[in-house]
Each structure stands twice: as C-alpha cells, then as structure tokens.
Amino acid sequence: MWDYSEKVKDHFYNPRNVGTIENPDGVGEVGSLACGDMLKLMFKLDDRGRIADVKFQTFGCGSAIASASALTEMVKGKTIEEASRITNQDIADYLDGLPEQKMHCSVMGREALEAAIANYRGEKPETEEGEIVCNCFGVTDKAIERAIKENGLTTVEQVTYYTKAGGGCGTCHERIQEIIDRVIEQTGGGIWRTKPKREKTANIRRMKLIEETIEHEVAPALRKEGGDIELIDVVGDKVIVALRGKCTQCLLSGWTMENFVQAKLREFVSPEIVVEEAKE
C-alpha cells in the first residue's frame, strides 16, 4: 500500500472544489482516460484580478485527486502572476509530500494550472510544445526537460515517476537518458549541486513569508503606537516573537499577540500558526 501522508488522505477523502464553473475565465485540461489520469481545472477571476473561484474534475488515483484538490486551495485568492509561479514541488509540499512514484500527479496539477492560465491569456500551453518522446503517454521533450530541471532528476526511472514518460513500452528510455545527459551538459551539472531539498525550500519560503508579514502587516501598526516587534524564531508552526518599546509595558500585549499578530500570520501564512512571546 502507498505511504500517503495524512494530508493526501484528507484531500482524497474530502476533495475540495470539485465541479465546474459557468463561464470560467480559464480552463485547462491535461491527461486522458487512456493514460490513467486526467485533470480538468477552471477558474474565475474577481474584479481585482484574483482567482475568486476554482473548480476541478479528475479521473485518477488517490494522489491525483489529492493533488488537484490541494492545487485549488493553493491558487484561491492568488493573482494569475502568483498562481503561475506554483511548481509541482509546491503542490507536493502542500500535501506533506507524495510517494516519489506518484510525483507525476503533482506535475499533472501544475500542467493543468498552466494550461488554464494559457487558456485565459489566449496562449498555447508550453507543455504542448516540443517533440513527443514517449508515445505511450504523449510526453514531449520539453515537458521532460522541465521536470528534470525543476526537480533535479538524475535517472530515467525518476523521469518516469515525475512525468510518466517511459512508463509504458520502454522504447524511449534511451532518448530520456539523452535528455538527462543534455541537461547535465547544459547546466554543467549545476542543477544537481543545488538540488533543492524539498523541506528546506518550503521552509525558507515560509520563513520569508512570516518575516514579510511581520514587517509589512504587523510592525507598522505597533510602531505607530511607539512599540515594535521582532521575529526571534520559527519552529514548525510555532512563531516566536519579542515585543519591543512601549508594547513591553502594555497590559493588552497578550491580546495583541493573539488577535493581531497571530491573526495576521494565520491570514497571510497558514491557519496553523501559533504565536508565542519569547521569554527573556
């Protein structure tokens, strides 16, 4: 049995945002019945250009359904620009990881999103460009190259896990190897030396987000009152901060912590965040 994370199971058992939207602004469709999985994604923007509604339909295994559901949650409220920066790794991270053999589900999510965005912009999705390498699953050299670069893949097997290419008859294995070799040559092997460690990347991004939220959303209001706030540490969902200036004597500092600092962080970073005051 697959070792699915609790989050994958939750999104599989209770998929969010299933269905269709009338008159969507963008629609993306990738995969096919024959390939064993397919995802149809559509969204509608609000008047500020943010994704107001997003819905999906999918045919696929547990992790395909979970990836699609997670993706819809991730893009909600984002601008097209922000949404287009979501990588397959982000989807996997959001789900607390996917079994490596199932990473193609996260790639399918990213591709559907891209297709939907391209559809909105009236462009052709990038994944459709290039030359078909794997006939069984209709995967192009461009798509393979991108998966290799974005995920630091080194073996044909990994390429299969991430794109399904080579998972059928196997006659394209040599060509996949050639593409891997070419990417290594082009980048001087650089992408593997800097191969992103899954959790680290996610954590650094999250840390930055926490920092920015405190700097832009929290600190200005406190400074106006003669106080200040400093980020001390982040441990998992726990954010440790220290109050400075007038805040230290404020009788309402406990209230500020919970209803202002924590509320802002929950709003901008993640609903699981718990704020603690550093004891010095």
Partner 1 sequence: MRRVYADNNATTKVDDNVIEEMLPLFNEIYGNPSSMHTFGAEAEKALRQARERVGEFIKADPSEIIFTGSGTESDNTALFGTLQAYPGKKHIITTKVEHPAVLNPCQLLAKKGYAVTVLPVDSEGMLDLDELRDSIRDDTAIVSIMYANNETGVIFPIEEIGQIVKERGVVFHVDAVQAAGKIPLDVNKLNANLLSISGHKIHAPKGVAALYIRRGTRVRPFLIGGHQEKGKRGGTENLPSIVGFGKACELAAEHLDVYSGQVRAMRDRLQEGLLRTISETSVNGGESPRIPNTLSIRFEYVEGESILLLLDREGIAASSGSACTSGSLEPSHVLRAMGIPYTSVHGSIRFSLSRFNTGEDIDYILEKLPPIISKLREISPFVETTPAPKKQ
List active site positions.
35, 105
Site for partner 1 in 28-87 (CB under 8 A): 29, 33-34, 36-40, 57-62, 64-65
What is the closest distance, in whole angstroms, from the C-beta atom of residue 6 to partner 1 in the complex?
13
**12 near partner 1, judged by CB under 8 A:** yes
What is the closest distance, in whole angstroms, from the C-beta atom of residue 181 to partner 1 in the complex?
23
Which element (helix H / strand E) includes 231?
strand 227-235
Residue 63 CA to residue 97 CA, distance in Å, equals 10
Which element (helix H / strand E) includes 38?
strand 37-45
Buried b vs exposed e over 205-218: b needs ≥16 C-beta within 10 Å?
Answer: ebeeebeebbeebb
* Span from 8-16, 71-79, 190-198, 257-265 in contact with partner 1 (CB under 8 A): 8-16
Based on C-alpha coordinates, what's the Rg of the chain?
22
* Residue 6 or 280 having the CB closest to partner 1: 6
Centre a 10 Å sphere on the Cβ of residue 155 and count the other Cβ atoms it contains.
Answer: 11
Concatenated DSSP letters of 121-173 = HT---GGGSS-EEETTTTEEHHHHHHHHHHHT--SHHHHHHHH-TTSSS-TTH
Which of 167, 241, 256, 257 is in the footprint of partner 1 by CB under 8 A? 167
* Residue 61 or 207 having the CB closest to partner 1: 61
**168 near partner 1, judged by CB under 8 A:** yes
**13 near partner 1, judged by CB under 8 A:** yes
Which tokens hold the place of 32?
């096919």
Tell me which residues touch partner 1 (CB under 8 A): 1, 12-13, 15, 18-20, 29, 33-34, 36-40, 57-62, 64-65, 101-102, 137, 160, 164, 167-168
